[in-house]
Amino acid sequence: MADLLAPFLTRPLQAERPAASIDPDRIEEASKLLLGGTPDAAQARARIEQAEALLRLAPQNEMAQETLLRLWEASRRKADMADSWQAFSDRFPRNRTGLRMALRWMRRAGRLSDARTLADRHAGNPALMADLLVELGDRDGAVAAARDALACSRKPVRSRQILARHLLAAGRIAEARAEARHLETARLSPTGRKLLDDIGAAARALDTLDRRRAETRNAQPSARALHAALDLFAQRRPRLVSGDGPVTFVTGSLAAGGAERQCSMIAAALQERRRARGSGPVDMVVTDASSSSDRGHFRPVLDAAEVPLTDLSRTPDCAMEGDSQLGRLVPLLPAQAQVGLLRLLPHLRQRQPDTVYIWQDGAVLMAALAALVAGVPRILISLRGLPPNLRTDRDRAEYHDMYRALATIPGVTLTANSRPAADAYRDWLGLPADGCRYLPNAVAPLPAEAPLDQARLWKGFADRLGPDPAVLGGIFRFTANKRPQDWIAVAARAMAAHPGLACILVGDGPDRAACETLASDLGIRERILFTGETAHVGFWLGRMDLFMLLSRFEGLPNVLIEAQMAGLPVISTPAGGAADTFLPGRSGLLLPSADPFDPDAATMAVLDLLGNRARAAAMGATGRTFAAERFALPRILDATELLLAGQPLPDMAPAVPPQAAAPPDPGPAVPHLPPVQAARSGASRHLS
């Protein structure tokens, strides 16, 4: 850390000429030192805070402030990185990194209009505008801007290289080749010569595609190339395996997410089960497990079970040998698929697993082709949530044809963690009934203990509430998908009819500050406890009386299962597989729609359970039994091993004997509140 801070802490911290740049490797090195090289988390946090305090002493030092922002990025210490980078860009307008990072974070947060407005400030600089439009995902717009830059450039060779680079990135190979011809006799740097080589390789790959005329509905060269590469394996004959051999799990990271937790838990439990009976080992491969960016959150789960971990971000590229047909297509393949061939393929050839188990879309794009080239007999693919055609923010040009091709290759099995998701994938891809199988998440009850600071936080809140308060709880990341502001507005309306109600919200995220402001505006801030992010979720579930989730989209929401395991009745929208996680009318109440959201229905559901404590208690008891049986880890592990052995799955969601549910008690009329101003709260509608 001292080396990182030395350039500006060894001289007076006043306004000075901005440093030209800062080495990202030094930031990464410092972050690893801070987060990965300390014996405990408390010492790591102390070092980060110490570094922040020093960096804040130099508000006009460009290098110091960029270091501070990158430190926040690496340690995930701030949610509003878009605003932070924009403020940095405003302070240091000649720093292009700050501008690009502000746009990148705005795009991630769904603030496309704000991002476009910020980019348009630089419309008079077409060369810069081309790079900014890339950050916004507008490749064709970037090409148009690069053409404008070439038309007015005093350095046509350099500008033509920039145009050729943008054309290549946009998949417009023929146009890139035409620009490259103008550069063949120019004096170019090694980087320029490599660009011409890359364009030539892509053009040859495109010629190969044109000769094959692979059947695909997509004209994007990367999608066509991937489809053609997968098609090489359509008639493969994988060797027979018993299911007891080595298994390699592949996922993007071990960050603090639901899919990552599930993947880590299944890999660890499978390793322990197999070790006990002496069968094939389990290992894990991730594209990035860096502790500096919290992408290694679940690594301790793997370490405890002695599951070896390979981090491809630290693995050198190895030249692919063998299949010349595939080799000619490689330059056009998506970048992730190329990473799989250069880094994952050597690992699989050395490890020789019987099964590769791939989790989530990005990992499938990276790993599926590499597993086929390595000759892995069985490939399991775990799909999380609804397909990309229903979640357009996550769609890519390659996905449809990739999944359709994979589904027809011998030895490849698609699974989804909810029945609605499995149905939606089958509809999207035109697959038969067994083309995508339902395998739910495994969930274990959460420990109810918590350290002293959490208990004190609860006691301070409970002391303000008075005797026997009713507590409505929610656990989610504060993002638009979870509708946290609608959640608070519904809670406010329920409090108006039931003054004894209080709320606990567990989690953090970019919308948390706006939610706290909204709670204050509605006059209920003192009756909502915002705990922030915590590892002690089980403790907070034990403080709640009922639980509500209002998501727009979901896979199979573990939190609804964990709430039932804690004995809570649940209320949820029917997002994704939410309805698979509980028994509507028996262990919770299912709202009529995920989108559009009905605030009246949500408010009435809360009041119904608050007004009938006996019914709520019965629902909680039913839910505890149901969740513990349906989602038990041994049951899901048994089903996983059937898939590893190539055997059919039993019905993972057998029908529960019906039980007539009493209609909701209408209770008091839904109270009216002043309209919630969308401009202030971000809510999508007025609740009145």
> Tokens 């974070």 belong to which residue?
105
Alpha-carbon radius of gyration of the chain: 27
Q: Which fold has domain 230-438?
A: Rossmann fold (3.40.50)
The pLDDT value given to residue 13: 35
> Tokens 């769609």 belong to which residue?
395
559-563 CB contacts, 8 Å cutoff, 24+ apart: 559/475, 559/476, 560/588, 561/441, 561/443, 561/627, 561/631, 562/443, 562/445, 562/446, 562/537, 562/538, 562/627, 563/473, 563/475, 563/623
Q: How far is CA 487 from CA 363, 492, 598, 675, in A?
A: 33, 9, 11, 15
The pLDDT value given to residue 201: 84
pLDDT digits (tens, 9 = 90+) for 121-162: 998 999 999 999 998 888 899 999 999 999 999 899 999 999
- Determine which helix (DSSP H) or strand (DSSP E) holds 103, and give its type and residue range: helix 96-108
Strands 412-416 and 355-359: unpaired
Q: What is the pTM of this model?
A: 0.73
The pLDDT value given to residue 251: 96
Domain ranges of the chain: 2-208, 230-438, 452-636+656-681
**Please, what CATH class does the domain formed by 2-208 belong to?**
mainly alpha
3-state secondary structure of 661: coil
- Determine which helix (DSSP H) or strand (DSSP E) holds 81, and give its type and residue range: helix 81-91
Domain 452-636+656-681 has CATH 1.10.10.10: no
The pLDDT value given to residue 259: 87
The pLDDT value given to residue 12: 38
The pLDDT value given to residue 77: 57
CATH topology of 230-438 equal to that of 452-636+656-681? yes
The pLDDT value given to residue 679: 29
- CB count within 10 Å of CB 558 equals 22
The pLDDT value given to residue 39: 40
The pLDDT value given to residue 634: 94
The pLDDT value given to residue 212: 58
Q: Residue 126, preceding bond cis, omega within 30 degrees?
A: no
pLDDT digits (tens, 9 = 90+) for 322-342: 556 788 788 889 989 999 999
The pLDDT value given to residue 657: 53
User: For the chain, which residues score pLDDT lower than 50?
Assistant: 1-31, 33-41, 292-293, 658-668, 670, 673-688
The pLDDT value given to residue 350: 94
